[in-house]
Structure 1
Amino acid sequence: MAPEPVTAHHIHGLVRQEIVAGAYTPGMILNLNRLTHEFGTSTTPVRDAMNRLVGERLVEHLPGGGFRVRALSPDRLAGLYEWHGQLLRLALASPLPESVREEVSVLARRLDEPGHVAPVASEAFGIVVSVSRNEELAQAFEAVALTLARARALEHLVIPGAVDELSQVIATIAAKDIAASHRIVGRYHRNRIRLSPRIHNMLRPTTAGIGQKRQ
């Protein structure tokens, strides 16, 4: 049997992926007994994994004990988009190195269908933030990006021009005009803030996840 810290790390990764993929939706109760049974382990590593997810703001404690996926209202979703945009603009405060601008620019070639918008955007923005070499900024950005992952995977369903929009964002970031980059990144996020209620309505379970009751 694997040591409990190793098991907890494994469970943390699997449950986090279920949340990001949308199998565990906001507000869903995570049943410790069911998780313990499905993972074939004791309660301790499952609880440790849940507490780690609480620290990542993906899961929250229930009054009186237990855990659930952190609730996500349209207002909170809008706030997450706003925070994501603010962090990205902070990372764009200085000109990007030529090699980084080329790396970001090349990603636009993968925008051949709407379903590719979310992963390309995630990679492009992640590259930009990594260049800042600001650990606190990078950690904050990673946390908000993770929380937004499922919503961002659905954006193209309510933004018909999502491919062209992201292509323009990438092209602008790949240029040297910082002010223009700030403007287009701001517009990109304002569009999503405005559409937050519609995106929120689409956040539904995609599969029966681990610890979730099967029908």
Structure 2
Amino acid sequence: MGLDTATHQRIYRAIKEDYLAGVFYPGARIPIPAIARRSDSSVTPVREALYRLVGEGLVEADPDGGFRIALPDFNALANLYAWSGHQLLSALHLTSRSAIKAAMARIRSLDIGPDPISIVTATSATFEAIAWASGNSEYLDSIRRTNERLHYSRLAEVGLFGDLERELRTFVRNGTIDVKMNVRRRVTAYHRRRVEHVAQLCALLQGTA
């Protein structure tokens, strides 16, 4: 790996880590010079990393050459939640009862704290476990990308819903006879709830911009 490629990867990972840690907010302008100084690099690899994140739907390019954290409008957010649910239900269709039971067992011990990042991280882990159970790596990659695109919307959910920890734990509820059916119902209910509240979530997201 050449020096330029190594620098690009390092900066890309650092920005992605900041994104997932909630350092930014939707619509926030990304401070390219500050990132370059912190990374001990020129602005060129920073811009290259940001263009890569544009391709992933996490960042938007401004006409003036700058970059901002993506801020979805009503239709985009509704479609993204619907797409998330569609992918998960499609993955479940391929999943055996034993595989989904094993997947839920993997996440039963997740430490879901009260802080927003912990809840959102646990949500992503739950949905990635469902995708993993399908045995199809394309579902896992796609769900992971969708989780990242919904990251800040899910952080906003914490300010709207007061029961997210309890809601997550229903996915791995002990004593459920048909685990696959329970997960299918939970996935459907989870996404229906978000789609019904897209207007409020958009207002919360836009209020931070």
Shorter chain as denominator, the TM-score bin is 0.7 to 0.9
Higher relative contact order (CA 8 A, sep 6+): 1
| Segment of structure 1 superposing worse, 22-31 or 39-48 | 22-31
Q: 1:198 to 1:111 in 2, by over 3 A?
A: farther
Moved over 6 A (4+): none
Q: Please give the secondary structure, in 2, of the residue aligned with 1:30.
A: coil
d(CA) in 2 for partners of 1:194 and 1:123?
A: 23
Aligned counterpart, 1:150: 152
Unpaired stretches in structure 1, ≥5 consecutive residues: 206-215
TM-score, length of structure 2 as denominator length:
0.79
- Number of equivalent positions: 203
Distance 1:109 1:31 in 2: 38
Q: CA deviation at 1:49?
A: 0.8
Distance 2:166 2:180 in 1: 20
What's the CA shift string for 1:109-140, capped at 9, x where partnerless?
54665445433322121111022233332222
195-204 vs 62-71, greater mean Cα deviation:
195-204
Is the 2:32–2:43 Cα contact (8 Å) retained in structure 1?
A: yes
Q: Distance in 1 between matches of 2:5 and 2:112?
A: 42
User: Are residue 60 (structure 1) and residue 60 (structure 2) matched?
Assistant: yes
Change (3 A) 1:176 1:168: same
Q: 1:178–1:68: structure 2 CA closer, same or farther, 3 Å change rule?
A: same
Partner of 1:211: none
Q: TM-score scaled to structure 1, two decimals?
A: 0.77
Distance 1:118 1:104 in 2: 17
Asked if residue 45 in structure 1 is aligned to residue 45 in structure 2, the reply is yes
Say whether the 8 Å CA contact 1:95–1:176 is kept in structure 2.
no
> Which consecutive residues of structure 2, in runs of 5 or more, have no partner in the other structure?
none
